[in-house]
Structures are given as C-alpha cells and as structure tokens.
C-alpha cells in the first residue's frame, strides 16, 4: 500500500511539468509558440525516442499531436512553418521513432508535405524542410517510399525541382529522388520517367541534377524509355557547360543500351542543322549586322558543337562506335560543321573529332584529303607530309577563308561505299545495329539505301 502511494506521488510529480508544458502550448499565440519551438529544437535535436519520452514523461506523442494539428491548420499561411517542420523532424529522425512516424502518416503527413511544395506563398526555407522530412520518410523503408509515390509524390517533387530558385534546396530534392529510385521496384520506373520529363525544364541546375540522377536510375531500371534519346539530345543546346558535361556522361552510358543506334544517328544529324532552324537568323542578319554577334549563342549551333564533341568522346572510347558512325556519314557531317563560320566552337570541335577519324581510318584520310585539297589539308592535319609545323586542327577555323569554309560546308564526301572496297575489318567487329549476321549483299544494299536517303 505504501509502495503504491509512493509510485502515484512520483508519477504525479513527473506529470505536472509535462502538463504545464502542454498547457503552455495550448494557451500560447503564434509568437510564443515560435519561442517554444526554438527551445524544443535546441534542447532535443539528435535525441533518441526513449530520451524524448523521458523529456516528456512518457507523453512525447501528445506534443507531436499538437505539432501535426497546428501544421494542418496553418501550413497554407506559412506561419512558423520551417520551425514547425524542424520540430516534427526531431521526432521522425530520432532513433527507434517508428511509432512517431506512423502517427504522423496516419494524419496525412505525406500529403501535407507534398502540398507545401506546390504553394507559391510559402518561403523556400519551409519547402526545404518539407523535402528533408520526405527524405526521412523515404529512408525509413520501401513501404514508405511507395506511400510517397502513391500520393503523386514523384510529380510534385519533380515540379518543385524545376521551379525552385535555390540550388541548395534543389540538391536536397536530388537526394530525395535518388532515395526514391533505390529499393523501390514497384515505382522505380515512375521516378525514372519523372527524371526524363525534367530534362526540358528551364532551370539549368535542375537539368544538371536530373541528368546525374538519371545515370543512377538507368542502371537500376535496366531498360530505356524511348523518349530519353530526344530529350538528352535537346539538352545539348544548353549554354551551361556543367549541364552539357552531364548530358555527355549520360550519353556515354546510353550507348550500352538498345537506344544506341538512335542515339548515334541523332548525334550525327545534329552536325548539320536543319534549314528551318538556321533560317531563323536570316531576317535579323539582313536588318542589323550587330546581330551577328548573337549567333554564337543560337541553341542549334551550341547543340552542333556539343554533338561534335560527344561524337569525338564516343569514338575515342569505342572503335566499334566510330565505325558505326562512318556508315552514318559522320565524316561528311563533320566537314560541314567545320564550314559553319557563324559558330567557331562548332568548327573547332568538329575539326578535333574529324582529326581522330583521319588518324584512325586510312580510308577517311584519303577522302578528307581529296575533299579539302592539299593546301587546306596541310593546315588541318599537322602530321601529314609538308604540313605547317605550327598548324593545329583545333585552330583551323582561324586560318581558313570564306571560300575554304564554303568548300567544307558543301562537301560531298561519302565514305560508306569505300568501306567495302577497303575491307574495313567488318568481320572482326560487333556492331550495335545488328548487321554482323547479314550476308554481304544484304549489308551492302542496306547502306546503299541509307546513302540514297542521305542525298535526298
């Protein structure tokens, strides 16, 4: 009897401070609650669930309920939102806090966090804390990742990444998307497609982060989506070198998948911009000569230069890919790009890439020399006999005149037919296009047809 009275007295003493703390919260206004949240974060950040229970006399869940209730009532106004979310994060990120997580999810916590991302009147700091809470939830296990995806989370998160103005917040979003694509077989394809859909967005940082995460997602998903080729090639028109770098890194991965033929064909096609794209400049050029200075930033020319660079990188990495691109008339296209006097970087990248093809394939050297003429070829390829010692393929654009540029742009080089006459090691190379098992007549007919289509 005495023992029971002692236990009751002790629990009453422990309960009274907890009761006063909850009453203080219930009676406080917005300013006072802000101070309570500050004190709570400073005092309890990093504590485990048992430590939080001890702090609240086994009643921590009562305080969490008050926090989640206030969140649902005020999240649209953004009042103390970042502090409120960080306070909830103290509970959700604590060790052995699974029961807190379940309590938060049962009251619609995930939907609330996703809605915060879409509200325009919410400050960036509040949205960043929302992303961090979603990270905590996603990292708690597969079923929680599925819950986020089932709540249309991938779409909301991707849209927020595209619209966010804070690079720090965007990097937090990347961490979340990376978490959602790992250990989530049911919805990993959904995340993968969401990343592809982000590529055309206007934010360079979002493009860069999406490309980085796509490399990981592609290796996890295994199969490719048909739209990835077109979207990645369009990214090459960017002015931002860090985005271009990530796009080329992804291209280096994609050539190992079934989209390789379409990817190579698309890259070669970018070397000769369509008349529709280049004609957009003509009225401006005729009206104002000063506009000529802006042509260096025409997206189609940036794309042309990046494609020439990517082709060079792929050719250096894999001779089989270089040979495949010969059949796509890459030599003709590179020469044409070298003649683009409106964009010096296109000329430079095309020259450097063509130089490698000349060094790699004697048949290419023969055709390029014949097309250029001896004088221009000596400027282009310093390794050739009688060439100028100071000549450099990368500097060729600074040395050629308008007539020589026109010769390059209008070249008719076609190495495809000569490949068979020179017996270019076809039988020893495995091609991605699947011609290795065809008979010679059918193989020759295939490329004759491609040649006719190219001329048209």
Query: What are the pLDDT digits (tens) for 291-320?
Result: 444 444 589 999 999 999 999 999 999 999
Q: What is the pLDDT of residues 206-256, one digit of tens each?
A: 999 999 999 999 999 999 999 999 999 999 999 999 999 999 999 999 999
CB 137 within 8 A of CB 110: yes
pTM of the model: 0.83
Two structure tokens written together for 337: 């790009």
Rg of the chain's alpha carbons, rounded to an integer? 31
Question: What's the helix, strand, coil split of the chain in %, to 5?
Answer: 75, 0, 25
CB atoms within 10 A of CB 39: 10
Contacts of 430 (CB under 8 A, 6+ apart): 320, 436
In degrees, rounded to 5, the angle at the alpha carbon of residue 250 between the alpha carbons of residues 409 and 310 is 20
Does 450 score more than 50 pLDDT? no
Average pLDDT across the chain, whole number: 85
pLDDT value for 144 = 97
Query: Which residue has better confidence, 98 or 287?
Result: 98
Mean pLDDT check: name the lowest of 52-61, 101-110, 160-169, 445-454: 445-454
Does 386 score more than 70 pLDDT? no
Which residue, 131, 121, 142, 116, is CA-closest to 172? Answer: 131
Give CA separation, 132 vs 11, 113, 169, 173, 211, in Å: 36, 10, 9, 8, 21
Q: What is the pLDDT of residues 79-114, one digit of tens each?
A: 889 999 999 999 999 998 899 999 999 999 999 999
CB 199 within 8 A of CB 207: yes
Which residue, 423, 248, 397, 274, is CA-closest to 335? Answer: 397
Q: What is the pLDDT of residues 390-401, one digit of tens each?
A: 456 777 777 788
pLDDT value for 356 = 95
Does 34 score more than 80 pLDDT? yes
Helix axes 153-163, 124-138, angle to 10 degrees: 140
């Amino acid at each position: 009897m005495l023992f029971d009275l002692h236990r009751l007295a002790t629990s009453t003493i422990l309960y009274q401070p907890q009761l006063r703390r909850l009453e203080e919260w219930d009676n406080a206004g917005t300013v006072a609650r802000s101070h309570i949240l500050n004190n709570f974060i400073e005092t309890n950040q990093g504590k485990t669930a048992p430590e939080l229970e001890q702090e609240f006399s086994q009643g921590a869940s009562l305080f969490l309920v008050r926090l989640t209730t206030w969140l649902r009532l005020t999240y649209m106004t953004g009042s103390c939102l970042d502090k409120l979310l960080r306070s909830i994060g103290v509970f959700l990120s604590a060790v052995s806090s699974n029961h807190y997580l379940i309590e938060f999810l049962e009251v619609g916590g995930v939907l609330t966090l996703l809605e915060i991302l879409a509200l325009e009147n919410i400050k960036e700091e509040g949205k960043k804390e929302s992303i961090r809470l979603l990270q905590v939830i996603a990292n708690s296990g597969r079923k929680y990742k599925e819950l986020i995806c089932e709540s249309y989370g991938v779409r909301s998160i991707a849209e927020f990444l595209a619209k966010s103005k804070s690079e720090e917040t965007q990097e937090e979003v990347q961490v979340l998307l990376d978490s959602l694509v790992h250990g989530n077989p049911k919805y990993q394809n959904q995340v993968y497609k969401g990343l592809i859909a982000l590529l055309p967005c206007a934010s360079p940082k979002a493009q860069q982060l999406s490309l980085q995460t796509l490399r990981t997602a592609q290796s996890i998903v295994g199969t490719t989506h048909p739209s990835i080729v077109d979207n990645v090639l369009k990214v090459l028109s960017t002015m931002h070198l860090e985005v271009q770098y990530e796009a080329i890194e992804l291209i280096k991965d994609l050539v190992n998948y079934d989209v390789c033929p379409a990817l190579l064909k698309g890259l070669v096609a970018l070397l000769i911009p369509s008349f529709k794209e280049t004609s957009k400049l003509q009225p401006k050029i005729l009206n104002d000569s000063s506009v000529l200075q802006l042509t260096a930033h025409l997206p189609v020319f940036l794309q042309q230069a990046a494609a020439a660079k990517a082709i060079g990188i792929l050719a250096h990495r894999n001779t089989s890919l270089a040979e495949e691109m010969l059949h796509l008339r890459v030599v003709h296209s590179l020469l044409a790009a070298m003649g683009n006097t409106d964009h010096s970087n296109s000329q430079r990248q095309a020259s450097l890439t063509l130089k490698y093809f000349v060094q790699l394939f004697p048949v290419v050297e023969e055709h390029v020399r014949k097309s250029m003429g001896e004088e221009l070829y000596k400027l282009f390829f310093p390794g050739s006999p009688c060439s100028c010692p100071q000549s450099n393929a990368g500097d060729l654009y600074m040395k050629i005149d308008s007539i020589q540029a026109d010769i390059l742009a209008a070249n008719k080089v076609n190495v495809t037919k000569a490949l068979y006459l020179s017996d270019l090691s076809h039988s020893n190379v495995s091609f991605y296009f699947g011609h290795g098992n065809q008979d010679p007549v059918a193989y020759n007919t295939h490329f004759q047809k491609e040649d006719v289509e190219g001329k048209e």
